[in-house]
Structure 1
């Protein structure tokens, strides 16, 4: 049976230790950190964008 990857638009919540809200945002630079390495929760899925066979 073929497998598919689905791409979703969603909202993810993470807990970040920081002194200020701006420091928390700076720690969440997706170019420098791996969201999968942090505890997180998907809180809302807005839309399924596409699927692709893998």
Structure 2
């Protein structure tokens, strides 16, 4: 049973990631394990360094 707010936040974060990975799998896409370890700031920096990746 989840009692504290911190426990609830951790559960939601873990569930959200699992659901996202399951969605990718259902769509036939593979997720890279390195993206899980990156923070939001690191991801933004990655795409700012490679502007051709962000242009669509």
Relative to the length of structure 2, the TM-score reads 0.25
Q: Whose helix fraction is larger, Structure 1's or Structure 2's?
A: 2
Which structure is richer in relative contact order (CA contacts within 8 A, separation 6 or more)? 1
Relative to the length of structure 1, the TM-score reads 0.25
